[in-house]
Amino acid sequence: MARRPPLEYALLGLLAGQPMTGYGLRRVFASTPMGVFSDSPGSIYPALARLERDGLIRSAGQSGARRGSRLLEPTRAGLAALRRWLSAEITRDDVARRIDELLLRFAFMDRHLDPVSVDRFLGGLAATVSAYVNELRAYAGSAGEPPSSTGRLALGHGIAACRATAQWARRARAEWRKSHGLDLP
Amino acid sequence: MARRPPLEYALLGLLAGQPMTGYGLRRVFASTPMGVFSDSPGSIYPALARLERDGLIRSAGQSGARRGSRLLEPTRAGLAALRRWLSAEITRDDVARRIDELLLRFAFMDRHLDPVSVDRFLGGLAATVSAYVNELRAYAGSAGEPPSSTGRLALGHGIAACRATAQWARRARAEWRKSHGLDLP
DNA sequence: TCGCTCATGTAAATAGTTACATGATTCC
DNA sequence: GGAATCATGTAACTATTTACATGAGCGA
């Protein structure tokens, strides 16, 4: 039940999609927009060692004929941990400080949660982000100390970015519902 | 010249605006949208100790009549380090992985850089983010492996968020130019 | 055979988180 | 007198970054 760093869930989610070697995972981080994570061996291999130590991934044969290379795959416990992470409630703090992790969760969802849960996630995300936008606006309005001009503009960026996320969530939800026949409110 | 973590620059920037105690800084992180940083004493006090050890901040008297409390202020070297950080080139990696740090820099800029430098920053930001949007779009178009449906939607979020940032940068720049009489191309 | 890609790891330094620990002052 | 706030720090643990280190296989 212990909380794990996002990197470990990213690894778990990728391996659930397709068994890979540690090097394969590094290439994914180096060559796709998942590049928020470092592709350095010093972050990947220790994370994989922790996952294996805790029984969340295991070896599943070799890559080609290469000695020493290990294809890795999640165990049943690993898939359960992944599903728990995907199903966690969205909090205000997730939105304010860990928005990237929420999007990472969403990216893995279709393979592991049912369409209704995905729909609920997008609804919850839109609602929580909108609430946070109101919080930011309230702060911008009150303005305890007279803020600097670029400080005020920077806060405007925070608001604009959150509004874009909320709008994206609403549109993604509409699209999701359409393609899964979820047409009730 | 050594690179420092964003938290230290945030502290330096706040202290440059107004000398404060460590506790005062914690309150700022706890009560404003700068809450991306933790307000825990275990992060703030060690960071302040590093800054003081390196001669970037110093004591500037006590807070009220409270024994043991220390108002902190940047030294000349601290202000120079802050200005160097504010003036650094914007890289593709800053945009892809450290966008929050760029906005933090912008928030402190008006007090430490001239209007033309701030204008250049916003221009560079808009350009670099737009280039990154193109990169993301190219990736979305090529799509090596058939991506999952939520994976594709999540990439759409990345694109939407960057577009919002680029748009914000262009608008903020127009506003900045207007209020500082920078009307050349 | 030379260089590139595939492949795995470790070591040291740095940082961040959580929890613990303490004590003064102020307000009710 | 008791609670909240002001105020500063340390300890243990966890994670990340950078750099180092090694070696096999493959193509030109």
Structural domain includes residue B50: yes
**What is residue A28's predicted lDDT score, i.e. its pLDDT?**
95
Query: Which of A62, A85, A108 is a domain's end point?
Result: A85
Range of the domain at B160: 88-179
Closest CA–CA distance from residue A96 to any residue of chain B (Å): 7
SS3 content of chain B, % helix, strand, coil (to 5): 70, 5, 25
Give the pair of three-digit tokens for residue B72.
């902190």
Per-residue pLDDT of chain B (185 residues; tens, 9 = 90+): 678 999 999 999 999 999 999 999 999 999 999 878 999 999 999 999 999 999 999 998 877 767 788 999 999 999 999 999 999 999 999 999 999 999 999 999 999 999 999 999 999 999 999 999 999 999 999 866 667 899 999 999 999 999 999 999 999 999 999 999 887 65
Q: How confident is the model at residue A143 (pLDDT cuts 50, 70, 90)?
A: low
> In the 8-state DSSP scheme, what is residue B20?
B
Q: How confident is the model at residue A34 (pLDDT cuts 50, 70, 90)?
A: confident
Q: What angle do CA B2, B8, B10 make, to 5 degrees?
A: 130
pLDDT tens per residue across span A89-122 = 999 999 999 999 999 999 999 999 999 999 999 9
Number of domains in chain B: 2
A12, exposed or middle or buried, with CB in 10 Å at 0-12, 13-18, 19+? buried
Query: Which of A68, A85, A102 is a domain's end point?
Result: A85
The one-letter amino acid at A26? R
Q: Do A154 and B17 touch (CB under 8 A)?
A: no
Structural domain includes residue B185: no
Distance A98 CA to D7 C1' (A): 30
Q: Looking at residue A41, which CATH number applies to its domain?
A: 1.10.10.10
Distance B63 CA to D5 C1' (A): 14
CB A117 within 8 A of CB A109: yes
CA A89/CA A35 separation, integer angstroms: 25
Q: How many residues does chain B have?
A: 185
A79 lies in the same domain as A51: yes
B99 lies in the same domain as B175: yes
